[in-house]
């Protein structure tokens, strides 16, 4: 059994420098950024200008690649990868496990004479066939129906991953069943991007922007995480198996002094992040920011904005590379939303906006009245979508990890609301009040001060850390997404919600259009209606307060306090119809994803419960009884010598805790047996099982934890069987 003493070590800092140029000088980041990406720059050396132009259009605008072009791309990709030392390729995808998946195939082939050759065909590029039977399908498929397909997503460039054991060409892909059902998180994102593009272009055309040909969504996902020494994490079954600590006494110091936030990055962590950035730069992930976060042992890295499909791949790649590089530095990277009780957990703030074919950010207030009119229209479209579909957005971020943050006054609150800031709030109030009536668009905007909005919004609009969906100058920050979540799924739901909102706005605009365009005065009429109809979703105050919960109830807003409550949304057609209407998910998708999320919740909670039982039975209880025996023996010896010591009192106190702990442990074991008995895991019973776990098992687990943490405050640190919070959050280095 590992103890607090066994994890002490002298830290060794692994130092990695940037790649070097041929003359031996250190390369600058632009010199090696994307060197392992088969992007248009790399393709230009292998493909004709015509092929390059076709691929470029598909990457930017979407579309199909025919078999003959796929053959030439595959040949070029093979040549490029082999020149860089690759021996294998894989279709890399995002199944509904929360992680990525890959199956490696060698370029090796045998010709008709049995001689070895290197081959990679267009057919192999376009499609692969991994076994789909063991991936979550939510009952969509029987176990014996094993066939599934990965299909190349040409909108996201291929790249090469380097490890100590070789190099592999990665092909970003979607994952579908034999019958064409989406089995991944990426497919709904791509679908939602298509639907939003069509509706947003329609909006711009109604506003007179006839030259715009397409609109994309852009994302920049801030990634928060904890790092702890790997040997310490491996000595704790709860961290190894569930990603969070189910036991752990708070140290005397946590984050109270706020001294960790933006503080000096510790030497070992700095070395880890340096190497992480180098590895990410090679595969084209544009990490921009790194800093200490609020909690001890917590950090954040953040990228530059990209198209949401590439951003989702890059965030998945970031999480994969973080774990690999972390292990090289003897770190375990913890992406769980709440690995340590009593300190802030981790989120993944998804900064989201829209950009049109001219390169304009549609959520940038801009510097001219005309641009501001576009901005206000799209702002209202977003608010309409959030107002109409807030419960589904809440469900899209529901997870066991986020449940811990909900109870700790951290984003996300259980109630979805929009924060716009005082300035925007006042402008919308003025429009609603009719101050834009019967005047030109320019005059109305000047009267409202909107022509100066770009300065006010960027400089004077405060941030609201309690809001799950906040406007931050020229984008929205979806703060409710959990740190371990794939970016693709909540972004897909957000895209679909905004598409739905724009559809409503477009219907109002079209009804007032003349000759295919809408006058500025009519646009303001529509804005006034939308602002009035969505007023209840706007909230500028403290999203954690009881006053807001009371006010939200009066406004009729949903309050889904935990994952079992939120997941019921997926099986409520009235709430999810917009996902089918926008083509983001089919009715079958919705049913299967509901079942998958119920199963995931159940399995994750049961892992936590079983880890707690194991740690209690094999570590904490034996340690407690052993130390209790020592105290009793010391007390008896003191009594024989007629010496008064605190041993008897301490033994009595610890004995009471031991009895309470064993009672709580017995109750947890019994509760586990009841909850998992019979048909608890049958498809039709998943929701009931999950709710039983939340209402019956989790309170028992918390009771066991509370007693364990009291025992930890008595037992000497040298005897405690697991690394403590103080060990992990405040290492010697």
Name which of 470, 483, 480, 482 is nearest 391 in CA terms.
480
109, part of any domain: yes
In 1-66, where does DSSP find H-type helix?
A: 29-32, 40-43, 49-61
Which residue, chain included where needed, has tokens 């739901």?
493
Residue 454 is predicted with a pLDDT of 46
Q: Specify if 58 maps to a domain.
A: yes
Residue 80 forms part of a structural domain: yes
Q: Is 518 helix (H, G, I), strand (E, B) or coil?
A: coil
Structural domain tally of the chain?
1
- What is the predicted pLDDT for the residue at 487? 95
d(CA 323, CA 483): 14
Q: What is residue 453's predicted lDDT score, i.e. its pLDDT?
A: 47
In a domain, 362, yes or no: no
| 543-587 confidence digits (pLDDT tens) | 888 899 999 999 999 999 999 999 999 999 999 999 999 999 999
Q: What is the pLDDT of residue 465?
A: 74
240 token code pair: 């190894």
10-residue stretch averages of pLDDT, the chain, 733 residues long: 47 75 86 94 94 90 86 96 96 90 92 91 87 65 64 94 92 85 92 97 94 95 96 95 95 80 89 95 95 92 94 96 94 96 92 95 74 89 97 95 81 85 84 64 53 47 75 90 95 98 97 88 92 94 89 93 92 95 93 91 96 96 93 79 76 92 96 87 83 94 96 94 94 77
Residue 588 placed within a domain: no
Give me the domain span that covers residue 69. Answer: 33-184
Residue 56 is assigned to a structural domain of this protein: yes
What CA–CA distance (Å, rounded) separates 341 from 153? 40
Residue 70 maps to a domain: yes
Residue 469 sits at φ, ψ, to 5 deg, of -145, 100
Q: pTM score, two decimals? A: 0.92
Q: Is omega for the bond preceding 9 within 30 degrees of 0, making it cis?
A: no
Burial (Cβ within 10 Å: 0-12, 13-18, ≥19) of residue 113: exposed
CATH code, domain carrying 142: 3.10.20.70
Q: Give the CA distances from residue 51 to residues 65, 75, 258, in Å, rounded to whole numbers and listed in that order.
A: 10, 13, 55
Cα–Cα separations (whole angstroms), residue 226 to 237, 243, 335, 343, 436: 17, 11, 7, 11, 50
* b/e per residue 577-602 (b: at least 16 CB within 10 A): ebbbebebbbeebbbbbbbbbbbbbb
Specify if 57 maps to a domain: yes
pLDDT at 436: 52
Residue 667: count other Cβ atoms within 10 Å of its Cβ: 16
Q: Is 122 helix (H, G, I), strand (E, B) or coil?
A: helix
Give me the helix-helix angle, 520-533 and 488-511, nearest 10°: 130
């Amino acid at each position: 059994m590992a103890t607090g003493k066994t994890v002490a070590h002298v830290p060794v800092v692994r130092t990695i420098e940037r790649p070097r140029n041929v003359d031996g000088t250190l390369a600058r980041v632009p010199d090696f950024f994307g060197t392992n990406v088969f992007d248009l720059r790399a393709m230009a050396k292998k493909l004709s200008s015509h092929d390059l132009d076709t691929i470029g259009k598909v990457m930017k605008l979407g579309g199909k690649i025919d078999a003959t072009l796929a053959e030439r791309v595959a040949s070029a990709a093979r040549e490029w990868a082999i020149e860089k030392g690759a021996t294998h390729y894989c279709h890399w995808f995002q199944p509904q496990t929360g992680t990525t998946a890959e199956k490696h195939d060698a370029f090796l082939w045998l010709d008709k004479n049995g001689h070895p050759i290197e081959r990679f065909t267009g057919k192999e590029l376009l499609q692969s066939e991994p076994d789909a039977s063991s991936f979550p399908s939510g009952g969509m498929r029987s176990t014996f129906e094993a066939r599934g397909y990965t299909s190349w997503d040409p909108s996201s460039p291929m790249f090469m991953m380097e490890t100590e054991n070789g190099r592999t060409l990665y092909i970003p892909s979607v994952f579908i069943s034999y019958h064409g059902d989406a089995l991944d998180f990426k497919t709904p994102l791509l679908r939602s991007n298509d639907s939003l593009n069509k509706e947003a272009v329609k909006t711009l055309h109604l506003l007179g922007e006839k030259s715009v040909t397409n609109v994309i969504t852009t994302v920049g996902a801030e990634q928060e995480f904890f790092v702890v020494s790997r040997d310490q994490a491996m000595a704790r079954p709860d961290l190894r198996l569930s990603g969070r600590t189910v036991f752990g006494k708070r140290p005397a110091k946590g984050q109270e002094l706020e001294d960790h936030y933006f503080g000096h990055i510790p030497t070992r962590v700095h070395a880890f992040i340096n190497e992480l950035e180098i590895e990410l730069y090679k595969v084209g992930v544009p990490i921009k920011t790194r800093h200490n976060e609020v909690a001890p042992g917590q950090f954040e890295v953040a990228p530059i904005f990209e198209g949401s499909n590439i951003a989702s791949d890059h965030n998945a790649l970031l999480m994969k590379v973080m774990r690999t590089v972390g292990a090289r530095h003897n770190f375990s990277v913890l992406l769980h939303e709440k690995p340590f009780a009593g300190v802030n957990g981790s989120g993944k703030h998804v900064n989201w906006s829209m950009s049109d074919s001219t390169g304009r950010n549609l959520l940038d207030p801009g510097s001219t009245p005309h641009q501001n009119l576009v901005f206000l229209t799209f702002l209202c479209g977003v608010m309409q979508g959030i107002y109409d579909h807030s419960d589904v957005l809440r469900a899209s971020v529901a997870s066991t990890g986020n449940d811990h943050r909900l109870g700790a006054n951290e984003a996300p609150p259980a109630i979805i609301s929009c924060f716009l800031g005082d300035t925007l709030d006042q402008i919308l109030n003025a429009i609603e009040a009719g101050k834009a009536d019967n005047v030109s668009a320019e005059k109305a905007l000047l009267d409202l001060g909107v022509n100066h909005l770009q300065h006010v919004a960027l400089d004077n609009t405060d941030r609201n850390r309690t809001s799950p969906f906040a406007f931050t100058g020229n984008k929205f920050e979806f703060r409710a997404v959990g740190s371990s979540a794939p970016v693709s799924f909540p972004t897909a739901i957000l895209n679909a919600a905004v598409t739905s909102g724009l559809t409503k706005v477009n219907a109002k605009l079209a009804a007032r259009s003349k000759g295919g365009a809408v006058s500025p005065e009519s646009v303001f009429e529509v804005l006034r209606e939308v602002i009035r109809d969505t007023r209840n979703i706007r909230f500028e105050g403290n999203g954690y307060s009881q006053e807001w919960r009371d006010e939200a109830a009066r406004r009729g807003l949903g309050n889904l306090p935990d994952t079992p409550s939120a997941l019921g949304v997926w099986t409520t057609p009235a709430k999810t119809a917009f996902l089918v209407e926008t083509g983001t998910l089919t009715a079958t998708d919705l049913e299967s994803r509901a079942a998958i999320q119920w199963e995931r919740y159940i399995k994750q909670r049961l892992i936590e419960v079983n880890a707690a039982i194991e740690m209690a039975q094999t570590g904490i209880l034996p340690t407690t009884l052993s130390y209790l025996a020592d105290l009793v023996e010391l007390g008896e010896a003191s009594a024989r010598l007629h010496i008064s010591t605190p041993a008897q009192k301490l033994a009595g106190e610890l004995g009471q805790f031991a009895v309470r702990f064993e009672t709580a442990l017995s109750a947890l074991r019994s509760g586990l047996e009841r909850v998992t008995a019979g048909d608890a895991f049958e498809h039709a019973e998943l929701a009931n099982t999950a709710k039983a776990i939340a209402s019956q098992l989790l309170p028992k687990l918390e009771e066991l934890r509370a007693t364990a943490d009291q025992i930890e405050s008595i037992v000497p640190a040298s005897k405690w069987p697991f690394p403590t919070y103080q060990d992990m959050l405040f290492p010697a280095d």
